Structure 1
Amino acid sequence: MKNIIVILAALSCIGLLTSARLPDTGPFPAARPGESNTAAPAPQLPPIPEPKPERGKTEAPPIKQGPPNSSGVPEKQGPKLPSQQTLEEQHLTIAAESDAEHSQCERELQVLGVVFKDIPRIDDGNGCGIDKPIKVSEALPGIKLQPEAVFRCPVALALARWMKESVIPAASAAAMDQGRIVAVNQASSYICRLRNGAETGKVSEHARGNAIDIASFSFEKGKDIAVQPRREDSTLIGAFQRTISAAGCLYFMTVLDPESDAAHETHFHLDVLERNGGYRYCH
């Protein structure tokens, strides 16, 4: 009987143990003085650092953009091309001239009978000017240059040689009845400006004292012979102009005549701009 009671008691304890379970929440640890007994917030992860550029590589600078165009899209801005620069933006300087070469040039002018005088150095700023300018009043003896012209000595020398060796002989054949040439009428010599008087672009050779524009020739008798479009002119005067235009490139580095473009319809542009390899531009 006692054994049966013991067995029943044991079975009862086992049933109690199998039905027992842990509580849903456990006890919090005792809080320290001055602290709350609430649960601590979850720890925050540190921010992810930005990747560093690879060694030897740098980030490209941001592209500068200009104001939006008509389509609303900003236009990229870069350095101005020479054709977009004003005279002030080109930072030009006046070229120095050799004393020896200038003296030799003036001696040759004197031999040819050119009437001229030295004038003070010209510096109008922005690279406009002439280191050793001269003022010419007669292109050759008895042939006035009107109005008087200012430029470098090599221009006067090329003009005198062209007149003596090409223009005067051609005029004698084409306009014999008008007598000899008494004046060369020039439209421009030294002047500070860009080519063709534009607001931007390359500097004119006139601004460096390297050029002269010829508008017409005056004779003892008859009318002046004006420089004008004569490509289709079948007269002796047309032949005269075409002849002296072609001959001009024997003396000048650049010859632009009325057939070149609209800017030169009323004159010859003659200059002594030196180019690589002695290249000459004749049109």
Structure 2
Amino acid sequence: MRSVAKVMAAGLIGLGAAVWTVEPAGAQSVVRRLGQDLGLVPPDKPARKAPRRPRAAPRPTVAAPASPAPQAKPETRTQAAIPGAPRPKPDETPDRPPEPAGLPAAPQAKPAQAPPQPEAGQSPAAPEGGKEPDATRPVPPPPPPPPEPIVLTDGEAQACLARLAALGVEAKPLPPIEADNGCSVPAPLEVRSVGAGIALAPPAVTVCPMAEALALWARDVAAESEAAFETRPKSLSIGTSYQCRPRNGRSGAKLSEHGIANGVDIAGIRLESGPAFDVARVADEDDGPTARFARAVRARACVHFTTVLGPGTDPSHETHLHLDLARRRNGYRICQ
């Protein structure tokens, strides 16, 4: 038996050597299998199987969010690029995309309703509180500042009184005048005559510069009277001198120059012979000696006074000549 085994082993070795030259890995497997079949080579030990790992629980699948459907882009071409196409109105808006099926329609906004209009013969309802809004009422302008009173220094006052004496003016000082509504005359004078034999009837209450201007103008009146009527003036009829009131007596108006004794109204001129010169009566005459005299003395007044108003200026001065020495910027004068 041993000899047979040796022979078989030698045969296997020779066969294995022959196969080895052709396929080394395959020869080793064949020789080992034959050896195991003949009991010359111990059988292979069974390979241990690796323990199976427990399967992980399946992850829940999350559906990806559906991407919104692409919206059509508005045309970038302008109406000007399309010949003949109408231009869109400013209030036109593009059409809304269609609502998806199954959804309730969005509520439509109600148009704003106009407030009810009052019926014919009825006034519109006043707002709450019974007061109208301030925006509907024009804001009244602030009251104009009153004219400043005529204030002279001691030297100016003495020089003015000296000039009045040289002109033959009869005047006496009065106590200062102070009123509650802005009228103020620190140094008033009562003037009875402007010299050259011309009286003031009644006497005028005025300030020294105004009395001097009256005296100078009275000499021009005398020259025009001699040229027109061959007579001299006897007196000047005074309508108003100092009077604390607004202009033209209108409430809310600026304080008149009469309120500071800086204005005098001449109603007429009395001549030594012949008819009296009445400003209101002469205003209706177009030509003639009296009308020419009236225009001449009025023009001469514009030389001595800064304001001259009379018939034709406005209804408030149809009956007299208003003369004053109002102070304005850049020496501005009003001669109407």
TM-score, normalization: structure 1?
0.68
Which string of whole-angstrom CA distances, capped at 9 and with x for unpartnered residues, describes residues 214-235 of structure 1?
Answer: 0011112222101135375211
Return the structure number with greater relative CO, CA threshold 8 A, min gap 6: 1
Count of residues paired in the alignment = 206
Structure index of larger Rg: 2
Q: C-alpha displacement at 1:80, in angstroms?
A: 3.6
1:252 pairs with 300, 305, 309, which one? 305
Distance of 1:193 and 1:220 partners within structure 2:
34
Cα pair 1:116 1:136 within 8 Å, conserved:
yes
> Judging changes above 3 Å, is the alpha-carbon distance between structure 1 residues 98 and 144 closer, same or farther for their aligned structure 2 residues?
same
Distance of 1:93 and 1:280 partners within structure 2:
17
SS of corresponding position for 2:158: helix
The structure that is strand-richer by fraction is 1
> Judging changes above 3 Å, is the alpha-carbon distance between structure 1 residues 116 and 255 closer, same or farther for their aligned structure 2 residues?
same
Tell me the equivalent position of 2:206: 151
**Matching of residues 10-21 of structure 1 within 5 Å:** none
Tell me the equivalent position of 1:174: 228
Alignment of 1:121 onto 2:173:
no
Q: C-alpha displacement at 1:93, in angstroms?
A: 6.7
C-alpha root-mean-square deviation of aligned residues, in Å? 2.1
Cα pair 2:283 2:318 within 8 Å, conserved:
no
Tell me the equivalent position of 2:278: 226
Q: C-alpha displacement at 1:119, in angstroms?
A: 0.8
Distance of 1:114 and 1:282 partners within structure 2:
26
SS of corresponding position for 1:127: coil
Q: C-alpha displacement at 1:175, in angstroms?
A: 1.5
Which string of whole-angstrom CA distances, capped at 9 and with x for unpartnered residues, describes residues 38-59 of structure 1?
Answer: xxxxxxxxxxxxxxxxxxxxxx
> Judging changes above 3 Å, is the alpha-carbon distance between structure 1 residues 273 and 91 closer, same or farther for their aligned structure 2 residues?
closer
Tell me the equivalent position of 2:154: 99
Tell me the equivalent position of 2:189: 134
Q: C-alpha displacement at 1:94, in angstroms?
A: 4.3
Q: C-alpha displacement at 1:129, in angstroms?
A: 2.1
After the TM superposition, list the runs of 4 or more consecutive aligned residues in structure 1 that deviate by more than 4 angstroms.
70-73, 90-95
Q: C-alpha displacement at 1:118, in angstroms?
A: 0.7
Letter aligned with residue 278 of structure 2 = A
Q: C-alpha displacement at 1:189, in angstroms?
A: 0.1
Which string of whole-angstrom CA distances, capped at 9 and with x for unpartnered residues, describes residues 141-197 of structure 1?
Answer: 421101011011111100110111x21111111111xx3211111100000000011
Letter aligned with residue 258 of structure 2 = H
Alignment of 1:236 onto 2:301:
no
Q: C-alpha displacement at 1:127, in angstroms?
A: 1.4
SS of corresponding position for 2:237: strand
Distance of 1:127 and 1:277 partners within structure 2:
25
Distance of 2:275 and 2:125 partners within structure 1:
61
Matched residues, percent identical?
Answer: 37
Q: C-alpha displacement at 1:256, in angstroms?
A: 0.3
Q: C-alpha displacement at 1:79, in angstroms?
A: 5.7
Tell me the equivalent position of 2:264: 212
Distance of 1:246 and 1:72 partners within structure 2:
58
Structure 1 unaligned residues grouped into runs of 5+: 1-69
Bigger mean CA deviation after superposition, 246-255 or 91-100 = 91-100
Tell me the equivalent position of 2:333: 280
